[in-house]
Chains A and B, each alone.
Chain A
Amino acid sequence: MVNNDLIVNNPLRALGLEEKAEKGVQSMGLVMARAGLGKTAILVQFALDCILQGNSVLHVSIGESVEKTRAWYDDILSLLTEGEKIEMIPGIMKNRMIMTFKEATFSKAVLEERFDDLVQQDIFRPECLIVDGYDFSSNDKDSLEDLRKFMDDRGLKMIWFSAVCHRGDDRVSEDGVPAPCHDVASLFETVLLIKPAGDEMQLAILKCDSSAVDPNATLTLDPSTMLVKKS
C-alpha cells in the first residue's frame, strides 16, 4: 500500500486538520478521555497522518516506555494498512522520533533542551509534536502557555496533547471541555472527547476551528481497534 492510499483512507481526515498542517497554521489540539479509553490510539493516528504527509513528528511520551510507544505505532499502522509492517512504508521510521520521560522529570525546560539538541545537531527537525501523558492536574495555565510559546518559537505546526478526565469531576469550561482542562481550554484550537456510547465509542468534537467540521459533530470509533469508523 502506498502512502497516498493510506492518507486518503485515514478517516481522521474528517476533521479537516490536514489543511492547517499544509498551510503552516499553528495549532494546539487536545484529546480527552477517561483512563484506558484510547487516547494514545487517537494521538498515534494523528501522528501517522502527519508523518505520511511528509512531516517529522516528535512523540513525547510521559510515563511510558519507548518500546510500548513503538508498539502503538506498529499496531495502528498494521490496522490501517491491513497488516503492513512499519519498516515497509518508506519515511515513517525516518520521520518519527520517540522521547520518553518519567512524570517527575518532564518539564518544558528539559523538553526545550532535548529539542534544541536534536535540531542544532541536525539529527531531527520536528514539525509536529505529540505530548502523551501530560499531567494537567499538576501543571497550571502558565506552564501550558509556555508550551504554546515554545511551539511558536520553534515554528512547530501543531502540538497534540492527551488528558485524562475523571468521572467524579463535573467542572466544565464554557465550550464544554471537562476538568482538569476546563481552565486552559482557551489555549486549544481543537478539543476532542472520547466517550463510550452503548457498544460504541464516540469521538465528540467539543471544539474545532476547522471549517471542515461542525463543532458539535461526533465521529464513531470501532472499540476493538480505536480507528474511526468509515461512514
Chain B
Amino acid sequence: MSQDLSRVRNIGISAHIDSGKTTLTERILFYTDKIHAIHEVRGKDGVGAKMDSMELEKERGITIQSAATYCTWKNIDINIIDTPGHVDFTVEVERALRVLDGAVLVLCSVGGVQSQSITVNRQMTRYNVPRIAFINKCDRTGANPDKVSEQLRDKLELNAHMMQIPIGLESELEGAIDLVTMKAVYYDGDNGEIIREDVIPADMIEEAEDKREALLEEISMFSEELMEAVLEGGDVDVQLIYDAVRQGTLSLEFTPVFIGSAYKNNGVQALLDAVEQYLPCPTDVENLALDLKEDEKEFPVSNDPKDPLIMLAFKLEDGRYGQLTYVRTYQGEVRKGETVYNNRTGKKVKIGRLCRMHSDEMQEIDSCGSGDIVALFGIDCASGDTFTAGSISCSMTSMHIPEPVISLAVIPVDNKAQINMSKALNRFTKEDPTFRTYVDHETGETIVSGMGELHLEVYVERMKREYDALVEVGAPQVAYRETISQRAEFNYIHKKQTGGSGQFGRVAGYMEPLEEGDYEFVDKIVGGVIPREFIGSCDKGFKKSLDKGSLCGAAITGIRCVINDGSYHNVDSSDVAFQLASVGAFKEGYLKAKPVIMEPIMKVAVEGPSEFQGAVMGSINQRRGMIIGTSEEGLYTVIEAEVPLSEMFGYSTTLRSLTQGKAEFTMEFATFKPVPKSVGEDLVKAYQDERKNS
C-alpha cells in the first residue's frame, strides 16, 4: 500500500438486492489482477463469487457479511467493502459506510431505483458519503438507463447526470460513448479485458454532442475555469471537466452516472477510472472523533501518519484464521508488535499480526497507516471500539444501531450443541450489535433477537454450519415493550423482622412517562431521609423492575422514576432492603400509571405492477397497516405503509400469491406504538396463561 494518501480510495459498493454488486466486485477483482478467473454468483462451476466467501452466501446467492478486499488500479490502492443488500443486514451497510470515504451506488437498469436503493442512499447521505452511480445490467431486456438516471434525480433527489451514453442496449449492448473524451469505448476479448477506443458512430454524434453540452452546463457550476472555457467556446480541456465533476461529487452536489453490464464484462473499467477520478481519498473527507477528556467534544482527525494513532474496529469476524478485527486507521501508524489502547475498556492491546484481507484470503503486512483498512488478529474487542496510541483519549463518533424487533427461542438438542451454541452466540453478539441474546429466567430458554426473520434465520443456520450447534427454534416472537401513560405516585415500606438481622426501607416518590430515552432516575431526596449510600440501591431496584413488565412480560421503557421521600432504620436498613423497597414501590406505582403495551411498527414498502395496487393495499389494510402513500410510475407502483411487525409474518408468501410473484417488499423498523385494546387484551391473557402453566 502506498503511503501517498491521495492515491488511496476506501469505497463501498451498495445497492438493492440482486442488482449485481457482487458480480461487479468480481469483475473489479479480475480487471485489477486480484483474481485470474471469473466465477459467477450462481455459476454452474459451483465455485461462487470471490466476495461471497461464506458457504451460506454462495448457496443463497446473496451477500450476508461484508467482506473487505483491496486491489490496485492504475497506481491507485482501492479498499473495497462489499456490502449486503437485504434490509435485515443494514447494520452491515451502515458500518461499512461509516468507515468508507466514497461509494458506488449500483442500480439495475430495469428495476431502477428500488426501495433498498432509497434506504442505502439515505444512509449514504447520513454519513456524507460522496457517491457515483453505476447502472448495471444494461444487457437485460427492458434496460433503460435514461429512466434510471431520471429516477436518481426524482426519487433520490441527487443531481445525477450520465457521463456516458450506451451504444446499443439489451442484447445489442456494445459499449458506451464517454461524454468527457467524446470517444466510443468497446470492451473486447473473452472477458472484456481489451479496451478499444474508437470514433463515435455517425448516427450518435448529434445525441452525444447535445448530452455533452448539457453535462458541461451542469458541471460548470463547480468550476469557474470550466465555466469560462465553456463560455469562450471551442475545445474544453478534459482535465478541467474531470476536476469540476470531482469537485461536485466531493461536495455531494453532483452524482456522475456510469453504465454497463458487469455480467457481460462491459463498462467496469470505466467505473474504476471514475473511482480514481471522482471519489475522495482519505484526506478529502473530514472525519470527526470525540475527545473523551473534553466531554466528548468533536474534533477532526488529521489523517497524518505522524500524529498519534486513532483506529476504529468496525467489524469482527470469526474466520478460519481465528478472530479477525477489521479496522480503519484515521490518523497515525501502527506496526506489528506495538501496543495500543482500547478506549472503551481502557485495556492495553498488543498488535500480533496485521493483515490485508482479500475476501477469505490474507496477506500479512508489517504496518498500516492513516486511511488504511486492514484486519488484526487475536484482539479482544467489540465492534465499534476505538484504539489509540494512549497519548490521546478519544472515540470515533458513535454508530447508529437500531433496536432489535424480533426474537426467537433457540433450544440446543444436546449438551454438545449447548456448548457450541454458547460459543457461537458469544461470537455473533460481538460481531453484530443488532443481534442480541439473553436467557429467559422463567422458561430457562435462550432467546435471540434481531432485525428480521431472515436476520435470525441466517444466524441459526450459521450456528449449525460453523459451530456444529444443532438447535430447535421456536416461533418468532415480536419484541413488545411496556410503558406507562400517566404519572403515578408510590410510597412503599419494605419491612422484614422475622429472625436474624431485619430489613427496613421506605421509598416514596412518583413515576412519569419519559419522552426520550428508556429510563431516568431522579434523586430529589433532601435532609437525608434516605442516606446517600442507599440512593444507588433505589436506582438498582427500579432498574431491576424494568426487565419484565406485569402486562405481558415485556421490557419496560420510557419511564422516569423520581424519589422525594423515604425513611430508614439505623440497624436494619441495607442495600438489599432499599433495592427491595424500590422494587415494591415500582410495582405499586406501575399499575396506577396506566401501563400500555407497545409494539414495533415497521416501515413497509411494496413495489409491484400497478395492476395489483388494489390487492396489495387490501392486504396491508387487513394487517392493521396504515398506508402512508402510493406512488405510481407508469407500470409500477410503490406503496408505503406502516404495519405492526406481528402482522408481517408470512407476508412474503401472501404477496407472492396476490401478485403472481411480481411484487416484492422491504421493511425496516420505524417506531414503537401502543397496541390496540383488543390485541393488548389477548397479549395480557396469553402471558397470564403462560405464567399459570409454568
Contact = CB atoms under 8 A, between A and B. Distances in A.
B640 A99 contact: no
B633 A105 contact: yes
Given A105-B634, A117-B613, A122-B621, 8 more contacts: A66-B629, A66-B638, A66-B640, A97-B627, A97-B630, A99-B632, A105-B632, A121-B618
Contact of A102 (B621, B626, B629, B634): B634
The listed residue with most A CB atoms (<10 A of its CB), out of B621, B630, B634, B671, is: B630
23 contacts: A65-B155, A66-B629, A66-B631, A66-B638, A66-B640, A70-B628, A87-B671, A93-B628, A99-B629, A99-B630, A100-B631, A101-B631, A101-B632, A102-B632, A102-B633, A110-B632, A114-B613, A117-B614, A121-B617, A121-B621, A123-B617, A123-B627, A124-B627
User: Which of A100, A104, A122, A124 has the most C-beta atoms of chain B within 10 angstroms of its own C-beta?
Assistant: A100
A10 interface: no
B224 interface: no
Interface string A62-105: 00011011100000000000000001000001100111111011
A114 B621 CA distance: 15
A160 to B, nearest CB: 18
Interface of A: 65-66, 68-70, 87, 93-94, 97-102, 104-105, 110, 114, 117-118, 121-124
Interface of B: 154-155, 157, 613-614, 617-618, 621, 626-634, 638, 640, 671
B617 A118 contact: yes
A70 B629 contact: yes
B632 A65 contact: no
A122 B617 CA distance: 10
Contacts of B633: 102, 105
A66 B618 contact: no
Nearest to A120: B614
Interface of A is mostly: mixed
Contacts of A101: 631-632
Given A117-B617, A118-B617, A121-B614, A98 B629 contact: yes
Contacts of B627: 97, 123-124
- Going nearest first, the 9 A-B pairs with the smallest beta carbon separation are A98-B629, A66-B629, A117-B614, A100-B631, A123-B621, A121-B618, A101-B632, A99-B630, A66-B631
Contacts of A70: 628-629
B154 A123 contact: no
A124 B633 CA distance: 21
Nearest to A124: B627
Nearest to A101: B632
Contacts of A65: 154-155, 157, 631
A118 B634 CA distance: 19
Contacts of B671: 87
A70 B632 CA distance: 16
A121 B618 CA distance: 6
Given A117-B613, A121-B614, A123-B621, A66 B628 contact: yes
A155 B627 CA distance: 22
Contacts of A105: 632-634
A91 to B, nearest CB: 12
A97 B629 contact: yes
Contacts of B614: 117, 121
Given A117-B613, A121-B618, A94 B632 contact: no
Contact of B618 (A98, A99, A102, A123): A123
A93 to B, nearest CB: 6
A124 B641 CA distance: 13
Contacts of A66: 628-631, 638, 640
Nearest to B617: A123
Contacts of B640: 66
Contacts of B157: 65, 68
Nearest to A117: B614
A122 B627 CA distance: 12
